Amino acid sequence: METKKNVLIVTDGAESTVKVAGEIAAVFTAASPGSKVKVLKAADFVATDLLPADICFFGVEAPAPACFAGLEQLLLHINLAGRPGGLFAGSDKAAAYLRRIVRDSELRISAKPFVAGKSGSVKAWTKTVK
């Protein structure tokens, strides 16, 4: 896995997505102890959190949570071309929602979204996001 110094993980705050976010953070912390990993609930996210991020992860339990409205609008108007990212979700419908909201930002999603109960190990999946 390529070393990323600044990792941003944004979730809807659901218990299951917060758990996955913690596991993703642990992978980056173990791989590169100097990494700065920021895990945020969407309600606490501000646009400037994206600026220093080398890699971004977004996670929701269900499609279109109200707390993602601001992030969804931001992703329509920001260019993240070339930056790698990962999506994690509680269902295939939630994963499809995340794919839709990041499409215009050109975030480079290099792995299939992690879907709880279907995608195996969070650790193994995280290592495929480059």
Q: Which residues of 19-38 are buried (b: 16+ CB within 10 A; e: fewer)?
A: ebbeebbebbeeebeebebe
Q: In CATH, which superfamily holds the domain spanning 6-128? A: Flavodoxin domain (3.40.50.360)
pLDDT average, residue stretch 52-76 = 96
Looking at residue 1, what is its pLDDT? 46
Sign of CA dihedral 20, 92, 79, 48: negative
Give pLDDT tens digits for 22-36: 999 999 999 888 889
Query: Which residue(s) pair with 86 in the sheet?
Result: 57
Domain boundaries, the chain: 6-128
Whether residue 42 is predicted with pLDDT greater than 70 in this model: the reply is: yes
Minimal CA–CA distance to 103: which of 121, 124, 80? 80
Q: Distance (Å, rounded) from C-alpha 4 to C-alpha 130?
A: 9
Looking at residue 2, what is its pLDDT? 52
Query: Cα 123 from chain centroid?
Result: 14
Looking at residue 119, what is its pLDDT? 86
Give pLDDT tens digits for 68-123: 999 999 999 999 998 999 999 999 999 999 999 999 999 999 789 999 989 899 99
Read off the pLDDT band of 19 (50, 70, 90). Answer: very high
